[in-house]
A and B are shown apart, each in its own frame.
Chain A
Amino acid sequence: MLEVKRLHTHYGRAEILSDVSFEVGAGEVAALLGRNGAGKSTTLKSIMRLVRPTSGEVVFDERPIGRLRPYEICRLGLGYVPEERRIFTSLTVGENLAVARRVNREGATVWTLERIFELFPNLAEMREKSARAMSGGEQQMLTVARTLMGSPRAILLDEPSEGLAPVIVEQMARTLKELKDEGVTILLSEQNLHFAGLVADRAIIIEKGRIRYQGKMQEALEDERIRAAYLMV
Chain B
Amino acid sequence: MSFYFAQFLTGLASASSLFLVASGLSIIFGVTRIVNFAHGSFYMLGAFIAYSLVTALPHGPLGFWGGVIISALVVGVIGVVMEILVLRRIYQSPELFQLVATFGVVLLIKDVALWVWGPEDKLGPRAPGFDGAVDIFGSKVPEYDLVVIVLGLVVLAALWLLFNRTRWGALVRAATEDREMLGALGINQALLFTSVFFLGSVLAGLGGALQIPRASVSHHMDLAIIATAFVVVVVGGMGSIVGAFLASVIISELNAFGILVFPEITLVLMFLVMVVVLVIRPWGILGKPEGEAAGEVLEGETLSIMPGRRMRLALLGAFALLLVLPSVVEPFYLLLLSEVFVFALFAASLHFIMGNGGMVSFGHAAYFGLGAYGAAMLLIYGDTGMELAIALAPLAAGLGALIFGYFCVRLSGVYMAMLSLAFAQIVWSVAFQSTELTGGEDGLVGVWPSPWASDRIVYYYLTLVLCAGGILALWRMLYAPFGYTLRAGRDSPLRVEAIGVNLRQHRWFAFVIAGLFAGLAGGLYGFLHGIVEPQAVDIPRSIDALMMVLIGGVQTLIGPLAGAFAFVFLENRLLAFEFWRAIFGLIIIGICVAMPLGIVGSLHRLALRAAAARAS
- A residues within 8 Å of B by Cβ? 12, 48, 50, 69-71, 74-75, 80, 82, 86, 88-91, 95-96, 98-102, 146-147, 150
Contacts of A82 in B (CB 8 A): 181, 184
Q: Is B185 an interface residue (CB 8 A)?
A: yes
Q: Contact between B171 and A99 (Cβ–Cβ < 8 Å)?
A: yes
- Contact bitstring B501-524, A, C-beta under 8 A = 1, else 0: 000000000000000000000000
Q: How far is the CA of A90 from the CA of B171 in the complex (A)?
A: 11
Q: Contact between B185 and A95 (Cβ–Cβ < 8 Å)?
A: no
Instruction: Give the size range of B's interface with the partner.
Output: 20 to 34
Q: List 14 A-B contacts (CB under 8 A).
A: A48-B184, A69-B183, A70-B183, A70-B184, A71-B185, A71-B187, A86-B178, A86-B181, A90-B173, A90-B176, A96-B174, A98-B167, A98-B170, A100-B185
| Other-chain contact of A99, B180, B187, B188, B189 (Cβ < 8 Å) | B187
Q: Contact between B177 and A88 (Cβ–Cβ < 8 Å)?
A: yes
Q: Contact between A71 and B167 (Cβ–Cβ < 8 Å)?
A: no
Q: Contact between B184 and A50 (Cβ–Cβ < 8 Å)?
A: yes
Q: Is B500 an interface residue (CB 8 A)?
A: no
Q: How far is the CA of A74 from the CA of B189 in the complex (A)?
A: 13
Which 5 pairs across A and B sit closest by C-beta, in order of nearness?
A74-B186, A95-B170, A70-B183, A88-B174, A100-B185
Contacts of A86 in B (CB 8 A): 178, 181
Q: A69-B183, A71-B189, A96-B174 are in contact. List 12 more A-B contacts (CB 8 A).
A: A12-B301, A48-B184, A50-B184, A69-B188, A71-B185, A86-B178, A88-B181, A90-B174, A91-B174, A95-B174, A99-B185, A100-B185
Q: Contact between B173 and A91 (Cβ–Cβ < 8 Å)?
A: yes
- Contact bitstring B182-201, A, C-beta under 8 A = 1, else 0: 11111111000000000000
The distance from the CB of A40 to the nearest CB of chain B, in whole angstroms, is: 17
Q: Contact between A90 and B177 (Cβ–Cβ < 8 Å)?
A: yes
The distance from the CB of B171 to the nearest CB of chain A, in whole angstroms, is: 5
In the complex, residue of chain B having the shortest beta-carbon distance to the beta carbon of A150: B186
Q: How far is the CA of A71 from the CA of B187 in the complex (A)?
A: 5
Q: Contact between A88 and B173 (Cβ–Cβ < 8 Å)?
A: yes
Q: Contact between A80 and B170 (Cβ–Cβ < 8 Å)?
A: no
Contacts of A48 in B (CB 8 A): 184
Q: Contact between A146 and B185 (Cβ–Cβ < 8 Å)?
A: yes
Segment 180-224 of B: residues with Cβ below 8 Å from A: 180-189
Q: Contact between A89 and B177 (Cβ–Cβ < 8 Å)?
A: yes
In the complex, residue of chain A having the shortest beta-carbon distance to the beta carbon of B182: A99
In the complex, residue of chain B having the shortest beta-carbon distance to the beta carbon of A69: B183
Contacts of B189 in A (CB 8 A): 71
Interface centre among A71, A74, A75, A146 (most CB of B within 10 A): A71
Q: Contact between B185 and A74 (Cβ–Cβ < 8 Å)?
A: yes
Contacts of A90 in B (CB 8 A): 173-174, 176-177, 288
Interface centre among A88, A96, A100 (most CB of B within 10 A): A88
Q: How far is the CA of A88 from the CA of B180 in the complex (A)?
A: 12
The distance from the CB of B165 to the nearest CB of chain A, in whole angstroms, is: 10
Q: Contact between A50 and B177 (Cβ–Cβ < 8 Å)?
A: no
Q: How far is the CA of A86 from the CA of B174 in the complex (A)?
A: 10
Contacts of B181 in A (CB 8 A): 82, 86, 88
The distance from the CB of B304 to the nearest CB of chain A, in whole angstroms, is: 12
Q: Contact between B178 and A88 (Cβ–Cβ < 8 Å)?
A: yes
Q: How far is the CA of A98 from the CA of B170 in the complex (A)?
A: 8
Q: A95-B170, A98-B167, A98-B170 are in contact. Are A71 and B177 (CB under 8 A)?
A: no
Q: How far is the CA of A96 from the CA of B288 in the complex (A)?
A: 19
Q: A90-B288, A150-B186 are in contact. Are A99 and B176 (CB under 8 A)?
A: no
Q: How far is the CA of A70 from the CA of B173 in the complex (A)?
A: 19
Q: How far is the CA of A120 from the CA of B151 in the complex (A)?
A: 44
In the complex, residue of chain B having the shortest beta-carbon distance to the beta carbon of A147: B185
Contacts of A71 in B (CB 8 A): 183-189
Q: How far is the CA of A17 from the CA of B444 in the complex (A)?
A: 64
Q: How far is the CA of A16 from the CA of B170 in the complex (A)?
A: 35
Q: How far is the CA of A224 from the CA of B67 in the complex (A)?
A: 79
Contacts of B183 in A (CB 8 A): 50, 69-71, 74
Q: Contact between B174 and A150 (Cβ–Cβ < 8 Å)?
A: no
Contacts of A147 in B (CB 8 A): 185
In the complex, residue of chain A having the shortest beta-carbon distance to the beta carbon of B178: A86
Q: How far is the CA of A82 from the CA of B176 in the complex (A)?
A: 18
The distance from the CB of B194 to the nearest CB of chain A, in whole angstroms, is: 14
Interface centre among A50, A70, A86 (most CB of B within 10 A): A70
In the complex, residue of chain B having the shortest beta-carbon distance to the beta carbon of A48: B184
- Contact bitstring B285-312, A, C-beta under 8 A = 1, else 0: 0001000000000000100000000000
Contacts of A74 in B (CB 8 A): 183-186
Segment 129-185 of B: residues with Cβ below 8 Å from A: 167, 170-171, 173-174, 176-178, 180-185
Q: How far is the CA of A136 from the CA of B23 in the complex (A)?
A: 34
The distance from the CB of A60 to the nearest CB of chain B, in whole angstroms, is: 14
Q: How far is the CA of A147 from the CA of B184 in the complex (A)?
A: 9
The distance from the CB of B63 to the nearest CB of chain A, in whole angstroms, is: 41
| Other-chain contact of B174, A50, A70, A99, A101 (Cβ < 8 Å) | A99
Q: How far is the CA of A82 from the CA of B183 in the complex (A)?
A: 12
Q: How far is the CA of A147 from the CA of B181 in the complex (A)?
A: 11
Q: Contact between B167 and A99 (Cβ–Cβ < 8 Å)?
A: yes
In the complex, residue of chain B having the shortest beta-carbon distance to the beta carbon of A77: B186
Q: How far is the CA of A24 from the CA of B299 in the complex (A)?
A: 36
In the complex, residue of chain B having the shortest beta-carbon distance to the beta carbon of A102: B186
The distance from the CB of B532 to the nearest CB of chain A, in whole angstroms, is: 46
Q: Contact between B185 and A91 (Cβ–Cβ < 8 Å)?
A: no
Contacts of B178 in A (CB 8 A): 86, 88
| Other-chain contact of A91, B170, B186, B187, B301 (Cβ < 8 Å) | B170
The distance from the CB of B290 to the nearest CB of chain A, in whole angstroms, is: 9
In the complex, residue of chain B having the shortest beta-carbon distance to the beta carbon of A89: B177
Q: How far is the CA of A86 from the CA of B181 in the complex (A)?
A: 7
Q: How far is the CA of A51 from the CA of B171 in the complex (A)?
A: 23
In the complex, residue of chain A having the shortest beta-carbon distance to the beta carbon of B171: A99
Contacts of B177 in A (CB 8 A): 88-91
In the complex, residue of chain A having the shortest beta-carbon distance to the beta carbon of B168: A99
Q: How far is the CA of A150 from the CA of B187 in the complex (A)?
A: 10
The distance from the CB of B183 to the nearest CB of chain A, in whole angstroms, is: 4
The distance from the CB of B81 to the nearest CB of chain A, in whole angstroms, is: 22
The distance from the CB of B294 to the nearest CB of chain A, in whole angstroms, is: 16
Contacts of B187 in A (CB 8 A): 71, 99
Contacts of A69 in B (CB 8 A): 183, 188
Q: Contact between B173 and A75 (Cβ–Cβ < 8 Å)?
A: no
The distance from the CB of B188 to the nearest CB of chain A, in whole angstroms, is: 5
The distance from the CB of B31 to the nearest CB of chain A, in whole angstroms, is: 12
Interface centre among B174, B184, B187, B288 (most CB of A within 10 A): B184
The distance from the CB of A133 to the nearest CB of chain B, in whole angstroms, is: 16
The distance from the CB of B303 to the nearest CB of chain A, in whole angstroms, is: 15
Q: Contact between B184 and A99 (Cβ–Cβ < 8 Å)?
A: no
Contacts of B186 in A (CB 8 A): 71, 74-75, 100, 102, 150
Contacts of B167 in A (CB 8 A): 98-99, 101
Q: How far is the CA of A82 from the CA of B48 in the complex (A)?
A: 48
Q: How far is the CA of A207 from the CA of B178 in the complex (A)?
A: 30
Q: How far is the CA of A98 from the CA of B174 in the complex (A)?
A: 11
